[in-house]
Amino acid sequence: MYHHQLYMEKTVRLDIWKTLDSFNFHNCIQCTEVLISNDYRVSEWIIDIVRQPYFSSDPINYPVNLGRVSVSSLGFEKQTTLEQIYNNMISEGLELVPPEVAINCRFYYDEQPVGEWLRFATPMDAMIDSDGVQHLPKLGKALGLYFIETYWSYKDAVFHPHNEFVVVIP
Residue 10, domain member (yes or no):
no
Q: What pLDDT was estimated at residue 8?
A: 40
Residue 162, domain member (yes or no):
yes
Q: What pLDDT was estimated at residue 55?
A: 87
Residue 127, domain member (yes or no):
yes
Q: What pLDDT was estimated at residue 4?
A: 36
| Separation CA 106–CA 140 (nearest Å) | 9
Residue 4, domain member (yes or no):
no
Q: Which residue has the higher pLDDT, 103 or 9?
A: 103
Q: Which residue has the higher pLDDT, 154 or 1?
A: 154
Residue 7, domain member (yes or no):
no
pTM of the model: 0.90
Q: What pLDDT was estimated at residue 2?
A: 36
The pLDDT-based confidence of 153 (bands split at 50, 70, 90) is very high
The yes-or-no verdict on residue 120 having pLDDT over 60 is yes
Q: What pLDDT was estimated at residue 13?
A: 81
Q: With contact defined as beta carbons under 8 Å apart, do 96 and 24 qualify?
A: no
Q: Which residue has the higher pLDDT, 55 or 117?
A: 117
Residue 30, domain member (yes or no):
yes
Residue 9, domain member (yes or no):
no
Domain that holds residue 25: 15-168
Length of the chain: 170
Distances from the Cα of 167 to the Cα of 33, 43, 159, angstroms: 25, 21, 16
Q: What pLDDT was estimated at residue 6?
A: 37
The yes-or-no verdict on residue 7 having pLDDT over 70 is no
State in Å, rounded, how far the first CA of the chain is from the last one: 25
pLDDT tens-place string over residues 60-101: 889 999 999 999 999 999 999 999 999 999 999 999 999 999
Domain count, the chain: 1
CA nearest to 63, candidates 25, 26, 20 = 20
Residue 151, domain member (yes or no):
yes
Q: What pLDDT was estimated at residue 167?
A: 98
| Separation CA 49–CA 55 (nearest Å) | 7
